A and B are shown apart, each in its own frame.
Chain A
Amino acid sequence: MDPTNIALSIKDLTVAFGKKPVLWDIDLDIPKGALTAIVGPNGAGKSTLLKSALGILKPTAGRVDVFGQPLTRQRSQIAYIPQRNSVDWDFPTNVLDVVLMGTYSDLGWFKRPGKKEQARAMEALKKVSMQDFSNRQISQLSGGQQQRVFLARALVQNAAIYIMDEPFVGVDAVTEKAIISLLKELRDQQKTVIVVHHDLQTIEDYFDWICLLNVRQIAFGKIQDTFTDENLRLTYSGHHSFIPQSHR
């Protein structure tokens, strides 16, 4: 692949907790301007892979480059959308406040968000059709609305790469459609989107590239070449009940 076309490059990445490897020797060159799915069974290390790519977790070995430079210098290029249940939704704050947190990296230390940041946050809320909820307390949101708020917080960051951990778990069908069409829009603007995904049924509709993972990297490539029955069998050791379209 042309090196200028690589958004996120992961080399020889190994993560171990104690002596137990969670990820083993992962090499990925994730292309710019594409939707990439990360797929694998529970405990395959999907979230760990994301967290290492984001610098939340320090890997045992390996390196992560963003647009050809070390991650530490390129943090502002990446927006992270964690799993919905990773935060306490009973926290006393409202929707606008959460979205404003996306502006904190631009603000830096000590500065508080002002009018300009609020306008940016409202604009992001509009993109996820949540502008009417800006004043709503976050504990009164449905699962789909929570996910939209998280997406708005990432959109405010105006990053080049969006990394999402299972964004479709526990959200309604309307929200799922809205999110995926927004992600496709981002891709068409040459943004890079990386998603941990569970639902094998929708992979071919939603994504361009796929990484099949089970501690080791099973396969990585374009959907049409990589999303094969053989690769799925290797990833799920036969415990899957889905056959890709090309094999039906």
Chain B
Amino acid sequence: MTIIFDYPLIIALIGASFIGVSSGIISCYAVLKEQSLLGDAIAHAALPGICIAFLITLSKSPGILISGALAAGFLGMLLITTIIRKSILKEDTALGIILSVFFGIGTLLLTIIQKIPTARQAGLDTYLFGNAASILYEDLKIIVILTISICFFTILFWKEFKAIIFDSDHTQTQGFPVFKIELILTTLMVVAIIIGLQTVGVILMSALIIAPAIAAKQWFKRFAPVMVLSIIFSVTSCILGVLLSSSINHLPSGPTIVIFISGFVLISLLFSPRGIISSKINEYINNNSIRAESILSNLYLLAKTHKDHTHPHDINTLNVLGGIPTQKLLVKLKKDGLIYQKESNLWGLTNNGIEKAIQILQRVH
């Protein structure tokens, strides 16, 4: 496994980084707007556009293929919104129909193109799983220009985008044309997906639109930091993915990028402050402190009937009051000076323990 930093690889890495930036931004909007599947449908819908653009012009110039993809992507999106508005079908059905119909036509056209002798070298099939190595200087120019436009519009409409995603009805009552703002946002989403297709491929592009924001959302509580982290995750995965794919012959870059971004999602879900592990730890700490409190209050309830409130009891008596505590917990309470041990099985409250138990009981009742 060797990586040679030659000119094509550097172009591919620069291209992939810019794609990482645009999908990191759009990911936040798509996920928070609950439209991540729309991204999947648009990516699949773009395939026939690429094929038709090639069949008409027989040229592989990036400008032409991207225009074809954009046209098909927008057509797909338009059909989805029309189906939702005008028919009784629900959103998921509309997405499913458009995704499969467009992708089916795209695969069909791709097979036809493969059979044209002069076109066999065109390598349009790289659009299925993505191949960063196929990015040329001309492609790079388009990717850079479009990514910069996405950044520009995101900064310009920062407040408006945030407002319509959080509460579009309220934004409308404030006099903002919600429909137009949504149109701008969706256009940016389509553009971000299309420029990623060459590197990530139509099949896996949705992962790059869904995963970065999901991972970033676990770490921060404000919108701007979430977006910055989402961009960082996305760019890092694109760079690592391209490096990995370039080190192994014929390994497409789409799957490798997706592996890295999925890794970020997994790590975030497990280890973030809101993640699974930290909530399990909190649960454990909570449970233990509840159990410790119940030992103290139960020992107090038992001892209350005696004159001396420090009177020790057989710990097995607690079985009746909800269970015998673990030895570990008893030792810990002993260490804290709240209980003392007399003989092997007899435990009683110390004076500090009595005070604490009264506090607990007063708080509960």
Contacts and interface: CB of A to CB of B under 8 A. Distances in A.
Interface of A: 51, 54-56, 75-76, 78-80, 82, 86-88, 91-94, 97-98, 101, 104-105, 107, 109-113, 137, 139, 153, 157
B156 A110 contact: yes
Contact of A88 (B157, B160, B166): B166
15 contacts: A54-B172, A75-B173, A76-B175, A80-B170, A86-B167, A87-B166, A88-B32, A88-B166, A92-B221, A92-B222, A92-B226, A93-B222, A98-B166, A113-B159, A157-B174
Given A92-B222, A94-B222, A112-B159, A82 B169 contact: yes
B295 to A, nearest CB: 31
A78 B88 CA distance: 34
A51 B160 CA distance: 21
Given A88-B32, A104-B176, A80 B222 contact: no
A91 B32 contact: yes
Contacts of B222: 92-94, 97
A110 B162 CA distance: 12
Contacts of A153: 170
Contacts of B159: 104, 107, 110-113
B166 A109 contact: no
B30 to A, nearest CB: 14
Given A80-B173, A137-B221, A104 B163 contact: yes
A56 B171 CA distance: 10
Contact of A93 (B160, B169, B173, B223): B223
B158 interface: yes
Contacts of A111: 159
B175 A105 contact: yes
Contact of A94 (B162, B169, B221): B221
Contacts, number: 76
B165 interface: yes
B163 to A, nearest CB: 6
B167 A101 contact: yes
Nearest to B172: A56
A112 B158 contact: yes
B162, B169, B171, B173 interface centre (most CB from chain A within 10 Å): B173
A51 B223 contact: no
B163, B170, B222, B226 interface centre (most CB from chain A within 10 Å): B170
A146 to B, nearest CB: 12
B74 interface: no
Given A88-B32, A92-B222, A112-B158, A78 B173 contact: yes
Contact of A105 (B166, B167, B174): B174
Contacts of A139: 221
B156 A82 contact: no
Nearest to A157: B174
Nearest to B226: A92
B217 interface: yes
Contacts of B167: 82, 86-87, 101
A110 B158 CA distance: 8
A105 B217 CA distance: 28
Nearest first, the 6 A-B pairs at minimum CB distance are A105-B174, A137-B221, A80-B173, A75-B175, A92-B226, A54-B173
Given A101-B167, A111-B159, 16 more contacts: A55-B173, A76-B175, A79-B173, A80-B173, A87-B166, A88-B166, A92-B217, A92-B221, A93-B166, A94-B221, A94-B222, A104-B171, A104-B174, A110-B157, A113-B159, A157-B174
